[in-house]
């Protein structure tokens, strides 16, 4: 019986039936031998809790809703059973043309899409299955070529996938398994409409897996609309448990953050640090300052081109760079071993994001260190974080000499308050500024020599005098057109002549 048929015929499983399962080894699972060999090659023998609880129901064809903290092994929890299914199911050889994707994975960021694709390639290295990632920030040419060669697993960001769907360059009619990874992050980034459109383009008879680090109400609503009688697995409820991470807090003014950051990073004990900034421009400023201080640092955020982001991650992974400065774009998808320190230069405005950030350290049984800076305007964020984690973060006293910005910083602009000298020249001294009056201009009559009020009769006599035989052409034109040049739109075209000005003088 195929997996699609299993989805329709098997009854819904209870959450409790899988929470009690403990799998000591991957070999205890009914997995294909090539996949077990790949796991063994990587040194993976014992599944993590999310893997032990998610793999069995996925193998049986059930929809699944999984909530687990970042860094708990969610990728393998769906990649391993998906590869098993694709490897054991026979392809339809009667169809001509390249293979179309049978599994679709949506991820919020380019980095996460790349890493998921790498995981599929790693765990499926002993099979003939092919996967490819597609995402924005680079030309679609090579991505389209990979689709035309034929693939089994497609890993995509919602934006680029929608572009290719609108161009009719991707065929999703054969998708049997649909996976949404980091669903809460995708909703935060505004991908709810693309997700619904992509889901509507998929076959109705499919298996759907949804993984999220948090479970807010909008995720529950999305799950209810996409999943059918799902098995629900929760490893760390609401992402509030933070094991193996030593947390500390610096309550300092905003302008003192850069120098305190330098002081921390100059310590050789900080072997590999990830610094989080709330904004892209802030990440660039931090990186520039650290580089001037002799600290090797690179930045990664949404404004960077894809090749720049890949080079930055590679430099950080290889150890050529000690510090990676990032926005929350890297909080979910970054997979770098042995990060010793996570530093929150800016506290996140969402408390869940704090958990995802510091989850980058303290992995694989190693103890990590998380340091947070809190300025007076961020105290509400701090209170929300402490309510979520149900812990009070230990405050560190900062020495007084570290509380002010260094003199090397650009000094703020201060206006010269000395009075300006009066302007001399044909206009004369500007003596009326103090009284608020407009300065006089050449030919302007002073206030004490006001002429008599002009009457209609006097104006008529002046027009007649200007329209005599010796008057200029412009003046004669004015006389012949009592309504004035403005009404006929001619005044500006004829103004280069000096007739009017000379006649007035």
pLDDT at position 118, please? 94
Average of per-residue pLDDT values in the chain = 78
Tell me the pLDDT band of 489, cut-offs 50, 70 and 90: very low
Task: Evaluate if residue 408 carries a pLDDT over 50.
Answer: no
Place of tokens 């077990």: 36
Contact 234, 74 (CB under 8 A): no
Q: Is 299 helix (H, G, I), strand (E, B) or coil?
A: strand
Tell me the pLDDT band of 387, cut-offs 50, 70 and 90: very high
pLDDT at position 121, please? 96
Contact 253, 376 (CB under 8 A): yes
pLDDT at position 504, please? 40
Contact 175, 203 (CB under 8 A): yes
Place of tokens 């305190």: 260
Q: Where are the beta strands (DSSP E) in 45-151?
A: 64-67, 103-106, 131-134
pLDDT at position 2, please? 44
The torsion angles phi and psi of 230, rounded to 5 degrees, stand at -75, 155
Contact 357, 276 (CB under 8 A): yes
pLDDT at position 164, please? 96
Q: Is 226 helix (H, G, I), strand (E, B) or coil?
A: helix
Mean pLDDT, to the nearest integer, of 259-265?
A: 93
Q: Is 65 helix (H, G, I), strand (E, B) or coil?
A: strand
Which residues partner with 232 through β-bridges?
65
Provide the 10 A C-beta neighbour count for residue 28.
Answer: 12
pLDDT at position 213, please? 79
Q: What angle do CA 20, 22, 24 make, to 5 degrees?
A: 175
Of 99-108, 251-260, 362-371, 451-460, the one with minimum mean pLDDT is 451-460
466: its two tokens: 């200007």
User: What Å distances lie between residue 67 and 50, 198, 336, CA to CA?
Assistant: 9, 22, 22
> How far apart (Å, rounded) are the C-alpha atoms in residues 231 and 90?
27
pLDDT at position 228, please? 93
Task: Evaluate if residue 498 carries a pLDDT over 50.
Answer: no
Mean pLDDT, to the nearest integer, of 24-45?
A: 91
Mean pLDDT, to the nearest integer, of 13-37?
A: 70
pLDDT at position 12, please? 39
Tens digit of pLDDT for each residue in 313-328?
889 989 999 999 998 8
353: its two tokens: 């994001």
Query: Which one has a higher pLDDT value, 378 or 462?
Result: 378
Task: Evaluate if residue 292 carries a pLDDT over 50.
Answer: yes
> How far apart (Å, rounded) are the C-alpha atoms in residues 271 and 287?
17
Q: What angle do CA 259, 304, 252 make, to 5 degrees?
A: 20
Fold of 3-237: Rossmann fold (3.40.50)
Tell me the pLDDT band of 22, cut-offs 50, 70 and 90: low
pLDDT at position 505, please? 39
Tell me the pLDDT band of 21, cut-offs 50, 70 and 90: very low
438: its two tokens: 């407009």
Task: Evaluate if residue 212 carries a pLDDT over 60.
Answer: yes
Contact 333, 323 (CB under 8 A): no
**Long-range pairs for 289-294: beta carbons < 8 A, 24 or more residues apart:** 289/258, 289/262, 290/261, 290/262, 290/265, 290/323, 290/325, 292/408, 293/262, 293/266
DSSP code, position 427: T
Over its C-alpha atoms, the chain yields an Rg (Å, rounded) of 35
Q: Is 370 helix (H, G, I), strand (E, B) or coil?
A: strand
pLDDT at position 394, please? 93
Query: Which one has a higher pLDDT value, 126 or 481?
Result: 126
Mean pLDDT, to the nearest integer, of 87-114?
A: 88
Query: Which one has a higher pLDDT value, 395 or 457?
Result: 395
In this structure, is the dihedral angle defined by the CA atoms of residues 200, 203, 205 and 209, taken in order, positive or negative? negative
Of 26-30, 90-94, 340-344, 411-415, the one with minimum mean pLDDT is 411-415
Task: Evaluate if residue 455 carries a pLDDT over 60.
Answer: no
pLDDT at position 6, please? 40
Query: Which one has a higher pLDDT value, 328 or 248?
Result: 248
Task: Evaluate if residue 16 carries a pLDDT over 50.
Answer: no
391 CB-near residues (< 8 Å, 6+ apart):
242, 247
> How far apart (Å, rounded) are the C-alpha atoms in residues 474 and 488?
14
> How far apart (Å, rounded) are the C-alpha atoms in residues 233 and 215?
11
Task: Evaluate if residue 35 carries a pLDDT over 90.
Answer: yes
Of 90-99, 125-134, 177-186, 493-502, the one with minimum mean pLDDT is 493-502
- Kindly give the interhelix angle for 192-201 and 217-226, rounded to the nearest 10 degrees: 10
Query: Which one has a higher pLDDT value, 66 or 432?
Result: 66
Tell me the pLDDT band of 478, cut-offs 50, 70 and 90: very low
Query: Which one has a higher pLDDT value, 475 or 114?
Result: 114
Domain locations in the chain as residue ranges: 3-237, 245-402, 457-504
Contact 138, 306 (CB under 8 A): yes
Query: Which one has a higher pLDDT value, 363 or 505?
Result: 363
> How far apart (Å, rounded) are the C-alpha atoms in residues 464 and 408?
74
Tens digit of pLDDT for each residue in 106-164?
999 888 899 999 999 999 999 999 999 999 888 999 999 999 999 999 999 999 999 99
Contact 277, 286 (CB under 8 A): yes
pLDDT at position 9, please? 36
> How far apart (Å, rounded) are the C-alpha atoms in residues 337 and 473?
88
Which residues partner with 394 through β-bridges?
248
Closest CA to 55 of 73, 41, 40, 69: 73
> How far apart (Å, rounded) are the C-alpha atoms in residues 152 and 131?
6
Task: Evaluate if residue 240 carries a pLDDT over 60.
Answer: no
Tell me the pLDDT band of 331, cut-offs 50, 70 and 90: low
> How far apart (Å, rounded) are the C-alpha atoms in residues 120 and 130?
8
Closest CA to 373 of 352, 402, 401: 402
pLDDT at position 304, please? 84
Task: Evaluate if residue 376 carries a pLDDT over 70.
Answer: yes
The pTM score is 0.65
Which residues partner with 48 through β-bridges?
none
pLDDT at position 427, please? 53
- Kindly give the interhelix angle for 379-389 and 351-358, rounded to the nearest 10 degrees: 70
Query: Which one has a higher pLDDT value, 296 or 305?
Result: 296
Q: Which CATH number fits domain 245-402: 3.40.50.300, 3.40.190.10, 3.30.450.20, 1.20.120.1690?
A: 3.40.50.300
Task: Evaluate if residue 458 carries a pLDDT over 70.
Answer: no
């Amino acid at each position: 019986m195929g997996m699609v048929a299993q989805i329709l015929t098997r009854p819904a499983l209870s959450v409790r039936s899988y929470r009690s399962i403990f799998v000591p080894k991957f070999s205890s699972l009914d997995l294909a031998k090539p996949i077990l060999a790949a796991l063994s090659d990587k040194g993976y023998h014992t599944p993590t809790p999310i893997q032990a609880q998610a793999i069995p129901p996925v193998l049986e064809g059930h929809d699944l809703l999984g909530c687990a903290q970042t860094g708990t092994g969610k990728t393998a929890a769906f990649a391993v059973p998906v590869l098993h299914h694709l490897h054991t199911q026979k392809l339809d050889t009667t169809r001509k043309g390249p293979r179309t994707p049978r599994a679709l994975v949506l991820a919020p960021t380019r980095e996460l899409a790349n890493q998921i694709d790498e995981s599929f390639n790693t765990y499926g290295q002993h099979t003939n299955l092919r996967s490819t990632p597609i995402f924005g920030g680079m030309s679609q040419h090579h991505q389209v070529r990979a689709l035309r060669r034929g693939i089994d697993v497609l890993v995509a960001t919602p934006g680029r996938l929608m572009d290719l769907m609108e161009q009719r360059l991707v065929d999703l009619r054969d998708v049997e398994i649909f996976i949404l990874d980091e669903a809460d992050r995708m909703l935060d980034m505004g991908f709810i409409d693309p997700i619904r459109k992509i889901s509507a383009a998929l076959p109705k008879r499919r298996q759907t897996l949804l993984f999220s680090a948090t479970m807010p109400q909008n995720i529950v609503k999305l799950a209810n609309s996409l999943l059918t009688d799902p098995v629900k697995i929760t490893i760390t409820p609401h992402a509030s448990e933070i094991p193996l991470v030593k947390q500390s807090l610096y309550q300092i003014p905003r302008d003192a953050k850069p120098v305190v950051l330098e002081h921390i990073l100059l310590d050789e004990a900080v072997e590999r640090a990830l610094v989080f900034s709330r904004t892209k421009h802030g990440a660039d400023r931090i990186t520039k300052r650290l580089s001037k201080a002799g600290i090797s640092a690179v930045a990664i955020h949404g404004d960077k081109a894809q090749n720049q982001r890949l080079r930055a991650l590679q430099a950080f992974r290889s150890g050529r760079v000690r510090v990676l400065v990032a926005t929350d774009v890297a909080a979910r998808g970054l997979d770098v071993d042995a990060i010793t320190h996570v530093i929150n230069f800016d506290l996140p405005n969402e408390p869940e994001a704090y958990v995802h950030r510091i989850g980058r350290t303290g992995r694989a049984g190693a103890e990590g260190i998380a340091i947070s800076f809190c300025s007076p305007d961020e105290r509400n964020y701090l209170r929300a974080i402490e309510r979520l984690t149900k812990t009070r973060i230990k405050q560190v006293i900062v020495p007084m000499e570290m509380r002010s910005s260094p003199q090397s910083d650009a000094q703020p602009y201060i206006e010269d308050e000395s009075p300006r000298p009066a302007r001399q020249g044909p206009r004369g001294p500007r003596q009326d500024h103090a009284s608020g009056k407009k300065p006089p201009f050449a030919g302007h009559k002073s206030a004490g020599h006001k002429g008599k009020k002009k009457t209609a009769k006097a104006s008529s006599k002046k027009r007649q005098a200007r329209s005599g035989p010796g008057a200029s052409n412009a003046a004669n034109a004015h006389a012949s057109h009592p309504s004035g040049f403005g009404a006929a739109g001619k005044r500006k075209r004829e103004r280069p002549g000096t007739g009017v000005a000379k006649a007035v003088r």
